[in-house]
Structure 1
Amino acid sequence: MTGAGFLAVDSGGSGLRAVVGAAGPGPAARSASGEPVRTGARGIDPDHLMEQLVPMARALCAEAGIGRLDTAVVGAAGLASLGDALRAELPGALARELGVRRVALAADAVTAYVGAVGPRPGAVIAAGTGLIAVGTDLTGWRRADGWGHLLGDCGGGAWIGRAGLEAALRAHDGREGGSARLLASAEELFGPAARLPGRLYPRADRPAVLASFAPRVAACAADGDPVAGDVLRAAARHMADSAAAVCPDLDEPEVGLTGGLFDMGAQLLDPLAEELAKRLPRARWVMAEGDPLHGAARIATALMTGTFTLPRDAALLCVTSPAGEDATHAAHART
């Protein structure tokens, strides 16, 4: 077996993914669980996370030949607002169960950022079912949106799907702004339009159900439907607004695009490029280099090799380190 290694974790709405590896060259092992970590009265449930993660991590260590785990980086959806119990309990639990001596807890937007563009200044639009933009100048973090499908996530998959279904129901009612093509697509996917509220409102996974219609909106736009095209252009404006709110003031800032929503391709990317050119004319947009799990692994490697330069934040990126290391980090930050 090799010496110390790292554990990187991505916890989100689709389940738990983890990778174990070494900071230098060497084999890595990865695994995934399709069960999302529960949330409850205390927010994200640290016991349920550990229940899934401990056997997964032990099996991955054996597969990768890692003798012990030095560092763990856990990226979690909802950490900023639902992560108090994780921050209080997870570092101690990981130390007891896996021998981890250093733990970083990061919002999934931060791991998405680092996976997309690395530890460099810039901004990232993370777009899937929801939408959030994060940016940093390496002295602090800024975020925009990410407020969920009822209060925000403007331009995300659920937002696009809801806007497309609204246009479908307008056509069903005979109101202006409707789309017969979107109505036909909605009824093909969900059944008769009049029954849609009963199928949607009781669901606990409403954002995912709404987002499932977003690819249909893109398909209708590709077929020339003007209403569907307008929905995607509006989504692009929302994305550009969020990116402009967080992007640092640099000569040529980099804006990374990450998340499954960008698999729509040109139907979304073309209007987004136009909107970014208006809002951030000096920016250069790029597709993500890697995903949030890749970002968590990058953070772990930087912590193990002493090259960690990202700003810490009580809500978005907190690190528990061996005695004295935090003070050294703070001293370096002041120089």
Structure 2
Amino acid sequence: MSWVLGVDSGGSGLRFALGSTAPDGTAGVTTVAATASAEPLRTGPSGIDAGQLLARLLPAVDTLLAQAGVNTNTNTDVEAGSGPGVLSAVAIGAAGMATLGDGLRAELPAALAHSLGVRRLVLAADAVTAYAGALGQRPGAVVAAGTGMIALGTDLTGWRRADGWGHLLGDCGGGAWIGRAGLEAAMRAHDGRRGGSPALLSRMEEVFGPAPELPGLLYPRTDRPAVLASFAPEVARCAAGDPIAAGIVSTAARHIAEAAAAVCPPSGACEVALTGGLFGLGDPLLAPLRAELAGQLPHATTVSAAADPLGGALLIAGALAGDTLRLPHDARLLNVLTEQDG
């Protein structure tokens, strides 16, 4: 048995999972223990704060090994791969890894080799760990949607990406996009402009207070995308009886389907998996999305995601440990930074 670690870093904090796998990787990964840290990682001039990640990761490893009953203080354990140097592979999936991961790529390999004896490390975009969790290592496409929205597809020779550009430049159809559109419709109703929704105005004032105060509440916030996304469920609830809200959700469905269509492998059938909290909105979003996918991707089959991004990180770590990683390597999306064991 070997031990592997998966890490999922996002806007809601960090999650860690310890898994066990057969040495040849053929039996997959079994999750043994998990823990979490609620505070998200900082970002700075060099991107995601590598020092802060390491400061959270090392105590988490100790906690997980203790939960698993691993004794790290005996020579026997070390020889068995259960002490210092216990981890056969680590896979870290992080939001912003593609554009903000330079610091992690520069600092983590040596730091983890020194502190944990880790020789096999993958740093991946959270969309890649979402893909691995949803579809494993088979070709297809995954749409990961929560506050933001990104689509990722592969034919196992390379990656195709659509959107995921943040709430100012894209993330079209994601939670922040839906929430912002709903709040705009509410403000239009407050002003008496066309396209306004009295139903959304009523919900906005119940959630945020009087309409004229909303800009002062929203614009100073550093977590604006999350605040915008918090209104998406209200838009979905109003969609059943309000044509403006229904139009917002239908447009979101079209955007999501367009992103999926852009990344599906161009030849043959394509599996499309939907993962992320946005799809918890249920039928107000899923019904128009199913219709859009059928129209834009008639050759595709929508499937349920097998696991979440943390499960995907663990799967990647297990595959790396067993030399069975088939997902395409990519300098920014899925970067294998350490040498394979000889």
State the TM-score bracket (shorter-chain normalisation): over 0.9
Residue 51 of structure 2, aligned match among 47, 50, 54: 47
Q: Which amino acid aligns with 2:319?
A: A
Alpha-carbon distance, 1:98 to partner: 1.4
For residues 2 and 330 of structure 2, the distance between their equivalents in structure 1, rounded to whole angstroms, comes to 26
Runs of 4+ aligned residues of structure 1 deviating over 6 Å after TM superposition are: none
Residue 92 of structure 1, aligned match among 105, 110, 113: 110
For residues 121 and 127 of structure 1, the distance between their equivalents in structure 2, rounded to whole angstroms, comes to 19
Residues 252 and 283, structure 1, Cα contact 8 Å, conserved in 2: yes
Pairing 1:297–2:301 present: no
Q: Which amino acid aligns with 1:250?
A: S
For residues 243 and 141 of structure 2, the distance between their equivalents in structure 1, rounded to whole angstroms, comes to 31
Q: Which amino acid aligns with 1:315?
A: R
Pairing 1:108–2:112 present: no
Residue 17 of structure 1, aligned match among 15, 20, 37: 15
Alpha-carbon distance, 1:320 to partner: 2.5
Residues 27 and 64, structure 1, Cα contact 8 Å, conserved in 2: no
Residues 119 and 340, structure 2, Cα contact 8 Å, conserved in 1: no
- Indicate the SS of the match to 2:111: helix
Which runs of structure 2 are paired with 1:1-335 in the superposition (5 Å)? 4-24=2-22, 28-66=32-70, 67=82, 68-222=86-240, 224-322=241-339
Q: Which amino acid aligns with 1:119?
A: Q
Alpha-carbon distance, 1:321 to partner: 3.5
For residues 259 and 87 of structure 1, the distance between their equivalents in structure 2, rounded to whole angstroms, comes to 26
Alpha-carbon distance, 1:27 to partner: 6.1
Distance 1:43 1:21, change over 3 A: same
Residues 155 and 239, structure 1, Cα contact 8 Å, conserved in 2: yes
Once the two structures are superposed, what CA deviation does each residue of 1:33-66 show, in whole Å capped at 9, x if it has no partner?
0010110111001000001111011110122134
For residues 35 and 41 of structure 2, the distance between their equivalents in structure 1, rounded to whole angstroms, comes to 15
For residues 324 and 140 of structure 1, the distance between their equivalents in structure 2, rounded to whole angstroms, comes to 25
Distance 1:27 1:45, change over 3 A: closer
Alpha-carbon distance, 1:14 to partner: 0.4
For residues 309 and 316 of structure 2, the distance between their equivalents in structure 1, rounded to whole angstroms, comes to 11
Residues 94 and 124, structure 2, Cα contact 8 Å, conserved in 1: yes
Distance 1:161 1:27, change over 3 A: closer
Q: Which amino acid aligns with 1:198?
A: G
Once the two structures are superposed, what CA deviation does each residue of 1:284-318 show, in whole Å capped at 9, x if it has no partner?
11221110000001111111222211100001001
Structure 2-normalised TM-score? 0.92
Alpha-carbon distance, 1:117 to partner: 1.2
Identity within the alignment, %: 63
Alpha-carbon distance, 1:233 to partner: 0.4
Residues 21 and 64, structure 1, Cα contact 8 Å, conserved in 2: no
Q: Which amino acid aligns with 2:106?
A: A
For residues 7 and 301 of structure 1, the distance between their equivalents in structure 2, rounded to whole angstroms, comes to 8
- Indicate the SS of the match to 2:21: coil
Equivalenced residue count is 322
Once the two structures are superposed, what CA deviation does each residue of 1:109-128 show, in whole Å capped at 9, x if it has no partner?
00001111111100011000
1:333 aligns to what? none
- Indicate the SS of the match to 1:256: strand
Where do 5+ consecutive residues of structure 2 fail to align? 23-28, 71-81
Residues 14 and 34, structure 1, Cα contact 8 Å, conserved in 2: yes
Once the two structures are superposed, what CA deviation does each residue of 1:245-291 show, in whole Å capped at 9, x if it has no partner?
11102322001000000001111011011111111111011221110
Aligned Cα root-mean-square deviation (Å): 1.3
Residues 145 and 152, structure 1, Cα contact 8 Å, conserved in 2: yes
